[in-house]
Structures are given as structure tokens and as C-alpha cells.
Structure 1
């Protein structure tokens, strides 16, 4: 291990997402598990609505509420509040602040960033009971509650004959996804999820509730679309829906290719991307060991076409010419789509929470063929070596860009409208904690190679795919000086105490206990020359 332990609080949403976190950083009497139980029920309880619930450790509901997709560097809680109204959220936050108690707001519980680990023995505010959807047929706008997950938004929209961009995983929170931009299969047609949000009702750091729009508060509207986790709690979003294309039906082909065809697979992906992917088309590339159809380690190409089977054929044929080991074709509606794609992987991601899931990512302009060949060969070797004691997920996403790039890139805090042709994700899952250091080194080496071969010359990341403090803030929010200065200024205006400064935070002097450590935490070395910082970060609050 290089370096000493960092004896400090490592700061911190499916989409992978948590939507808002607050941590006491400036001293005070922090509530502890020993003194919170009686106090929270007697003081906070009478202020909550009748449908809200206070859950404490040892109670069955508590374990259910605090379950997360990953236990890697996770937050811990002394109490969970299942809120049922916007006023419940205000009351819970006010109570936590009065006790100098850290809190985390959770909808889907799929946030992967390690920065949330600052919340230790804190309060969880579960938003899931605020999962309503209310549709206005005149405006074609759907009001979505702060606890809804993307599958609920998709199902409600589909039932009414509408659709909109949502994330590919149906159990991630709508607000966590949308506050970070919201990529997805339909973005070529409708843009990012945030491009379809016309208003967000936020609880701001001062406790007030404000309906934020482009007209009512242009600066805050700019910030909450792409960096919204830093500015409060999203209580409701108003989402512009679109009449379904092709009656909401999608043609899906899952194809399994042997690792020996890595070069051909990624050359074809590059060729298709260079010619502009049709706006109806999306690709997911995942590693399966073994593949559900072939029974051997494979590259799974998930081809999703929002249109008729007949119109998909010309775009599918080049893949068939590569002669996949296995192919499964389906014609499914939008609501069913997440559950049948890429070998049914979402059935695992949404139904098997917990365990250690360490995750790194990077955007790429193109797939580097040499890097891909090395990666997939190494992935196969690692899968064989660890033989189930650790599992390695490769997931790459290649989406159409037409509607995304049609929006002014300076119109929001999301910086990568022209810098996210492909999303590269790599994850190790395990339960044996002794594997942590060696697997983290392996993952970080590959992220380093992703960056070096990305075509961008630097790390660029979708904010909801950021690892945490190992990545520079600019990778999430842009390298343009004006962007960072604007975010800093708005952060100082709306959240000077850094109350919402723990999910992919905008770092100001007040907000970051790790400011001095940042240079060594995101230094890259050429692949194969080792990793700069191999120390394990310890949270001691």
C-alpha cells in the first residue's frame, strides 16, 4: 500500500442514482445511534404526515429501506424516514439539520459514486412513496413524483400511448437520472431526459420549495440540469411526453460473439458510428461469462431498433454477416424492453442488491481496436481466474446523437453534448473484502487506458457514471473555465454551507475536505506502469 491512511471523511444517486445528500462538516453535536431513537419519534414524528414512517435499526422496514444496489463504500444510517409528502421532506431535513445529522435522499438506491460514504450513522430520507405520475392530456406533460423510478415513468407513459427518453435500467430513480442529464435509447429522437423536463420543483438548501423553470430562474435552471444533485432535493419533475412511434414497439436482437471476434465487432461499431447512427437505433455491448445462449464467454451485442422489423433488417444485416454464435430476436413494447435486452441483465441488476460493486467509466469518441482486443481478452482471463468469487461486468453504450446535439451545448451544466459518443463502463462485483485492493487496481488500469485511447485526450464522464473522488471534477462538469466559475458562483449563492455537496460535488473551499488530496487522487499513469495511488481510503467520521 502506498501512502498512509487518509484519516478524513471521504465526501459524497440507477441511473445507476441518489439525488441529494447533505453532510455536517463544520462541527456541532452530531446525532448518534444511541440517542436518536427516542428523540426522532417524539420530536420529528408529530410533524410528519400520517402516511410517513420512521424506521429504526432492528425493524424489518429499516433493512428494506436502506437496501442499495452496491455496498461498496456505502453510506450507513441510524434512522430512515419514508416520506409521503413534500412537507415531510422539509420536516425531515429540518430535523436532521437541527441535530447536525448527515442525511441522504434516496429514490432508486443505484448511485454508484463512492462520495456518498460520508453519510455514516445518518438519516436516510426514502422518497419511494412519492412515486406518483399525473398526466395532463392537453399539454402532454406528466408530473412525476420525486420517488418514481424510470420503469414507472416508462410504464405510465406507454399505457397512455406516449414515450420519452429514460435510462436503460428500470429501477433507477427518475430524479437522480434526470438531474445528471439522463442518457438512454431514445435520445436520438427526443434528446436527454433533462431536455424533456420543463419544470423541476426543488427543495432548496434554505428549506424553501421552488418550482424552477427556464423563465422563473434561468441560472438555477441551467445548473440543475447536469449538476442538480448539488442544489437541493427534486420533489417533482414535469416531463414533456411524445406520442409513441410504431405503437411503442421495438425490434430487439441479442447476438453473442466469441472473444476471438472482438476486432471485427468493434470495427463494425466504429463504422456504424462514423456514418451517424440512425436516430431509432441503440447498441448495448456487454460481456457475459458464460453467454446465456452459447454457454461460453461472449461479447453480447444488443441491437435495439425503435421501428418495424422490416425497417431494421438493413441495419441488422452487417451483424448477421459476422455470424454470431447465438441470436435471439424479439418484437416488444417499450414497457417490456428493459427486461428482455442484453441477456436479461436488468433482471439481475434490479433484483440482486448489495455486495461489493466497484465501478469505473469514461466517455469515448471511438472504440480503440487495440485497446478493445486487450480488454476483452483480459476480461475473459479474469473471469476464468476468479471463477465466480469475483464477477466482471463490461457494459458499453452507443446511442444515436441527433436530438442531443441539436440542443445548444451551453444551455445547461451538462458539458458533453459533443463529447459522449460512447459510454464505457467496467465493474467488479465480489463479497470477499480481501479482494478489494487488487480488483480496484485492475479496474483503474483499464479506466486509464480508456482515457488514453478515448479520442478526447482527457477523462470525460457522464456524471452518474463517475466513480467519486478519484476523478477530477472537471471530468464531470467540463473543462471550460466559464462552466466551473458559473457553477462555483451558483453554489456559493444557493448552498454556501455545502449542504448538498456530497454526490459528485462541485468543490469549493468550504465544501471539500479533500481539496488538498485531489491532485494525487486523479493522477493518471500510462497503462501498464502501475497505479499512482493504491491506498485504501478509510472513512472515520
Structure 2
């Protein structure tokens, strides 16, 4: 009888490891059998935190921008120093529990939903910005938001390339390349990286730079290889503090002429001006074009007069500092698009070289028709982002895992809706709309390849769509994956394999 009891106790203990890792939904496991929070806390620094389900802190840590196919956690670890990430990963590996790092929770690709009941490593306290003595670089914590980076550097007369949304981290988009306002002069976010501290799949902390074979992959496919706890980035003296903008609203019957003008005056036959951005969107029955120029207090009339001549129904203009741009663009940390409102937010990205006028009309008509037929989708928008590209194209495409440097435009339908009992039907309708829009633009591009910005990925794209069609590129990524993450610990965000 004692033997049976001992075997039973061992069996419960063993099984409970798995039950706790998967949520112990049946409540059969005593917590003193395998107290993960206590064991894990003992490995962490004194200021590190652990949050469990049911607490407000856990809810805040696991809240996400998009409610569709989100990863889930049974425990949240909040590192206070970089070594806490090391200990969390080593412990998760020892217990055979999945883990994932979160900075701000804005990743929306559906591939993340494959990770359920894991350990979340919330990096938001690793948010320092330390400018080097020579003023050419800054060491930035792995969870630091773009706004924090911009403000901290600005206070010292410096700046660097960050993502356009203030609420996302520097490294979230940076590991996938990272588009931003200053890319025309300096390149992508990842092009600024000088070195980084990274926790690999085995839990080891390494400092890597251009001497490492992993460096090539980190710049563009970095989500597949580790948790970056800090990065040293190039920074620059502020040269153009003043920026100006003009915004126009047009009716839908002007789609063709509007995009003809954008192509002529802003894309400039494939060589966009380095000091000009053109952003536009479809929203219900309106088309909004916003033009931003750097280093000035008014946008050059050569760029804006043709749009005034089209007699927009609304025109606004203004000027201010570089730090005001995200407010003008509606992507400030307090702007509605940055808030986590419990909505489903799905993106269907495609990068192209030029606007195809016929495709722009077809996209507009499809978008207007579906959002009217399905009111639940009428919060959706389509973004047409035209950042300057000189700095991006200055880096040869074989130098990093970012492959689509020749493209001038980043297009992404953002299909938004509130979850409801009818969500499965809405999910299908939203995917059909987003996918349909992307297909129209793809066909209009005349290309055989579909280029999809990995940071906006929906999740149904191929590795070729994300990381390039060249065989050598795919082979190199797979070889590095086998070397640094053979067990696939980092295979949930736009996975290579």
C-alpha cells in the first residue's frame, strides 16, 4: 500500500507539472506539489516581479492590442535586470514550459496564437536610455517604448530612427527592420544597431555585433532567435527640429487623380524626396492624404498646390517639432490607435514600388462596399505609407535579413472589429476583406512576388513573403535557426520554420 501511495504521489507530481503549464483547468493539482512562482522567484533579482492570473497586474501585463489569436500565459515574469531574463528562460526550459517576451503587446500576427499557457517575460521595466560619452551611440533597454527613446534623446540634442507609433517599443519593430520618419536619412531601425545583449534559446546571455554570424539574421528576422535585453544604437545630432504638415480630405470620386498626383509629386518616379513623407488612408467614404516635410515650418507649395487645386473638402496645415509628428499622424501614445480597447486588429501588408491607379480604384470600391454591408467592420482603415527611402536603399539587400529595400510604399489594410458571439463569421469576413484588398494590390503591381512587411504580418503569409524569395536567403536563415534554436523555442512570431 505504501508503494502504491508513493507511486501515486510521484505520478500526481509529474502530471501536475504539465497541468500547471497548461492551466490546470481541472484544478486537481495541489500548488505545493510544484510551486513554480516560488521556485522562479528564488532565481530572480530582488526587484523582479511575478504576476499570477486574477491580479490586476497580470491583466495589465497580458493585455494585447489585438484580441485575435493572442498568446496566453499562466505566469508573468517582470525582469528588473537583464539576468532575470536569463533565469526565466533557463527555468522555463528546465520545466519544458513555453515562454515568450513582450514589450508592449502590439504584435498582431496570428502565428502568436500557437503559444498557449506559457511564461510571459514582460520587458517593460528594461526601459533605460543611456547616451555614450562620445554622443554617437546610446544603450537602450529591451522594453523601451519609441516615445521614451525619442524624448530621452531629444533632451540631449540627439535622435535616432524609431517606429512611427510612439506606443510600440523600439525593438519590437526593430527586429523586423522597422520603418520610421527618419529612415530617408539614416535607414531602418535595425540599420542603427551596433551591438546587443541577447538571451538565446538555451538561456545564455551573449553580446553580439557585426562579428557574429547571427547579426545578419537579427536585423530583419530577429524575433526568431532570442530575447534582446538591450541594444546599442547609432544616434545623431538633431539637424531638422522643425517639421510641417498639410492634410487633405477628398471624396471617393477623386481616387484616380489623387494617386496619380501622389505618384508624380511625391514618389517622383521612384525617387521620393528625402525630406518628404506622404501618408494616406481610406476610411469609410473618405480618402485622407497627409504630407509631412522636415526642416521647415510650411510644406513646399510645389508638393501641395496640385492637391489644393483638386478642391479637397477639408484642408488643415500646421508646423511644430519632430516630436509632434506622431500626434499629427494619430499614432501618439495617447491616440486611439495606440489604445488596447479589446478589439480585433488585423493587418494584411504588402510592399510595392508604385501605386497602380486601377488597383487603387478597385480597392476603394471593395472597401467601401464591404464596410457598408458589414457595419461591424466600418472602423477599419487602409494605410498607404510613403516614407522617404534613400537611407533604406543605401544598405545593400544582402547585408541583412531585410530583403525588400527596393520598395517605396508600405500598404496595409487594418481590419478592425469588436469580438462578439458572431466573431467566427466576422473573422472570416475580415480575412476575406483584408486578403482581397491585398490581392488586388498584388495583381496591380505586376509582380510574381508578394512582399509583406513582417511587423504587420497577418499570419497566413509564407516565409518567402516575409524574408525574401532567394534560395540562399532562406537557406541561410534555416541554417542559423538550426544552430541557435534547434528546438524551436522562438517559433511563434512569423516563424522561419
TM-score, reference length from structure 1: 0.83
Whole-angstrom CA distance in 1 between matches of 2:71 and 2:147: 25
Among residues 326, 335, 338, which one is paired with 2:323 in the alignment? 335
Q: Is 363-372 or 313-322 further displaced after alignment?
A: 313-322
**Stretches of structure 2 lacking an aligned partner (at least 5 in a row):** 1-16
- Structure 1: runs of 5+ lacking an equivalent: 1-27, 290-296, 508-541
- The aligned counterpart of 1:74 is 70
Structure 1 residues 320, 110: CA separation in 2 closer, same or farther (over 3 Å shift)? same
> Relative to structure 1, is the Cα distance of residues 281 and 158 closer, same or farther in structure 2, using a 3 angstrom cutoff?
same
8 Å CA contact retained: 1:72, 1:356 = yes
Contact persistence 2:298–2:318 (CA under 8 A): no
Shift of residue 362, structure 1, vs aligned partner? 0.8
Query: Counterparts of 1:453-532 in structure 2 under 5 Å?
Result: 453-468=444-459, 470-507=460-497
Q: State the Cα deviation string for residues 489-508 of structure 1 (Å, max 9, x = none).
A: 1111111111112111111x
Q: Is the 8 A contact 1:133 1:156 kept in 2?
A: yes
Shift in alpha-carbon separation, 1:177–1:396, aligned structure 2, 3 A: same
Closer/same/farther in 2, CA of residues 345 and 46 from structure 1, 3 Å limit? closer
Return the alpha-carbon distance in structure 1 between the equivalents of residues 57 and 97 of structure 2.
Answer: 21
In the TM superposition, what is the alpha-carbon distance from 1:222 to its structure 2 partner? 0.7
After superposition, the C-alpha distances for 1:312-346 in whole angstroms (9 at most, x for unaligned) are 33222222222221112121222222122259797
Post-superposition shift, 1:213? 0.8
Q: Would the aligned equivalents of 1:245 and 1:306 in 2 still touch at CA under 8 Å?
A: no
Work out whether residues 77 and 123 of structure 1, in 8 Å CA contact, stay in contact via their aligned partners in 2. Answer: yes
Secondary structure at the aligned position of 2:210 is classed as coil
The 1:389/1:314 distance shift into structure 2, 3 A limit, reads closer
Other-structure match for 1:422: 409
Aligned residues: 468
How far is 1:455 from its partner?
3.8
Contact 1:75 1:116 in 2 (8 A): yes
Identify the residue that residue 444 of structure 1 maps to in structure 2.
Answer: 435
SS at match of 1:506: coil
Matches within 5 A, 1:386-425: 386-388=374-376, 390-418=378-406, 420-425=407-412
1:184 matches 2:180: yes
* Alpha-carbon distance in structure 2 between the residues aligned to 1:304 and 1:137: 33
Contact 1:364/1:455 (<8 A) preserved:
no
Query: Any idea what the Cα deviations from partners look like across 1:451-471, whole Å, max 9, x if unmatched?
Result: 222243221112112211x21
2:272 maps to 277
Deviations 1:244-302 (A, max 9, x none): 123x221122211111111111111221314321111112112234xxxxxxx311112
Alignment of 1:103-118 (within 5 A): 103-118=99-114
CA deviations over 1:466-496 (Å, ceiling 9, x no partner): 211x211111111111111111111111111
Q: Could you tell me how far 1:390 is from its partner in structure 2?
A: 4.6
Output the CA distance in 2 between the equivalents of 1:304 and 1:371. 25
Partner in structure 2 of residue 268 of structure 1: 261
Cα deviation, residue 437, structure 1: 1.5
1:119 and 2:115 are equivalent in the alignment: yes
Give the CA deviation at 1:388: 4.8
- CA displacement at 1:450 relative to structure 2: 2.0
* Distance across 2 between alignment mates of 1:326 and 1:137: 48
Range with bigger deviation, 70-79 or 279-288 = 279-288
RMSD: 1.9
Match of 1:223 among 203, 211, 217: 217
Which residue among 236, 240, 250 is the counterpart of 2:243?
250
The answer for the alignment partner of 2:363 in structure 1 is 375
1:405-425, Cα deviation, whole Å (9 max, x unpaired): 11122111111111x211110
2:252 corresponds to:
259
**Contact 1:158–1:334 (Cα < 8 Å) also in 2:** no
Bigger mean CA offset, 91-100 vs 32-41:
32-41
CA contact (8 A) 1:366 1:455 kept: no
CA shift for structure 1 position 311: 6.1
Give how far 1:372 is off. Answer: 0.8
**Among residues 207, 212, 227, which one is paired with 1:211 in the alignment?**
207
| Cα offsets for 1:340-386 (capped at 9, x unmatched) | 22597970111243222222111112111111112112322333333
Mapped partners of 1:133, 1:220: distance in 2: 24
**1:230 and 1:505 in contact (8 A); partners too:** yes
Residue from 289, 292, 309 that aligns with 1:304 = 292
Which of residues 128, 131, 134 is equivalent to 2:127? 131
Q: Distance in 2 between matches of 1:504 and 1:373?
A: 31
* Structure 2 Cα separation of the partners of residues 279 and 36 of structure 1: 62
Asked whether the equivalents of residues 53 and 74 of structure 2 are also in contact (C-alpha less than 8 Å), the reply is: yes
> CA deviation digits over 1:121-163, x for unaligned, max 9?
2111100000111112414211110011111111112221122
**CA 1:179–1:505: 2 relative to 1, 3 Å:** same
1:456–1:158: structure 2 CA closer, same or farther, 3 Å change rule? Answer: farther
Q: Could you tell me whether the CA contact under 8 Å between 2:166 and 2:332 is conserved in 1?
A: no
Displacement of 1:97 = 1.5
Contact map agreement 2:78 2:124 (CA 8 A) in 1: yes
Q: Which of 230, 233, 252 is the aligned partner of 1:239? A: 233
Counterparts of 2:167 and 2:280 in 1: how far apart (Å)? 20
Return the offset for 1:102. 1.5
User: Is the 2:89–2:202 Cα contact (8 Å) retained in structure 1?
Assistant: no
The structure having more radius of gyration, on CA atoms, is: 2
**Secondary structure of 1:168's match?**
coil
